Chains A and B, each alone.
Chain A
């Protein structure tokens, strides 16, 4: 991949990575660092993209992974008492309040990674189970099972 191709790839997909990272992390500074991490990693190790169904789905996955890592590394920053299923319920079209976002982030940083990925796609991106299966390169049934586990996990735990 030469410099021109890298620049084209960045211009085509960089805004998407930034937008999703900002959405998950709630601020542009961290989102910017995620963009840097994701694209430097891709530029330096392009082979990791091999096998993904599309570059967009690959970057969705890479962005989610980078954001969740960042949230976990920030463990303890947010002190919130509880995260309830209600805060995770999809369906409304209004942006999350800052409090809701913090609750969701607290939940995600404590949740087992495999469940946190599914939760981000479903509750933050609003993807259907078919679309999540496409991004995660797995079956729709697996997505459904993971979502059910994620909800049970939230119900069973008190997040501090």
Chain B
């Protein structure tokens, strides 16, 4: 909460200063006050630390794309989370029976958010229209990944990618990806593939193969993980 005595600098001015929006003179006056005022120095340090923490948690801007009739959002922020269910959404447990095995270098799993509840997903999972799925990956080294899906009608979707390109991930266990998908209303089988490669790659050839053959093979030097789900209509 930012309640200031009259002589102190407001958060608005500190924000404008940080954004480089103040004139040189106004900036100097503000700096002089901050340098001489323990409270404003502390407040500025708090804002800077707060900003760094926010960007560490949510480094990417929200982005909306369309994949068929699905709503797909990417948000460091929508990751944007904490508090109650959203905290769980971000700090989900990360062992997935049937899909993961301790010590395996590359792993792929997911969590389901339905209403305010977040549960662990598993291979063969029954999901429901409107569920949100969030994917979690483990790699033993920095890699490039993409996640694509194919529903019962044969439609192919990019679930985690950067405009048709793979996305870099760090070498770490149980990385909850910053994107989630919301399942559309069409019931039926849903298959999801995660592709892990050492080099960046484009999705177009993979999607083309998937649309035609309905199956994927791991590109040379890459690892492929697959999940099969069954989607029910919303009750």
Contact = CB atoms under 8 A, between A and B. Distances in A.
A91 interface: yes
B61 to A, nearest CB: 4
Given A7-B60, A10-B61, A32 B78 contact: yes
Nearest to B61: A10
Given A32-B77, A91-B3, A127-B12, A14 B61 contact: yes
Contacts, number: 134
B5 A12 contact: no
Contact of A56 (B12, B55, B84, B86): B12
Interface residues of A, number: 48
Contact of A131 (B12, B55, B60, B64): B12
Interface string A95-109: 110000000000000
Nearest to A12: B19
Nearest to B13: A131
A33 B1 contact: no
A16 interface: yes
A91 to B, nearest CB: 7
B129 interface: no
A146 interface: no
B24 to A, nearest CB: 15
Given A28-B86, A29-B84, A54-B21, A125 B75 contact: no
Given A11-B55, A15-B51, A56 B81 contact: no
B62 interface: yes
B167 to A, nearest CB: 13
B28 interface: no
A11 B18 CA distance: 12
Which range holds the interface residue count of chain B? Answer: 35 or more
Contacts of B75: 32, 35-36
B6 interface: yes
A15 B60 CA distance: 12
A57 interface: yes
Interface string A103-136: 0000000000000000000011111100100110
B80 A33 contact: yes
Nearest to A101: B1
Contacts of A92: 3
Nearest to A25: B83
Return the 3 tightest CB-CB contacts between A and B, nearest first.
Answer: A32-B80, A15-B51, A10-B61
Interface of B: 1-6, 10-13, 15-16, 18-19, 21, 39, 47, 50-51, 54-55, 58-64, 73, 75-87
7 contacts: A16-B15, A16-B51, A29-B80, A35-B58, A40-B63, A126-B4, A126-B10
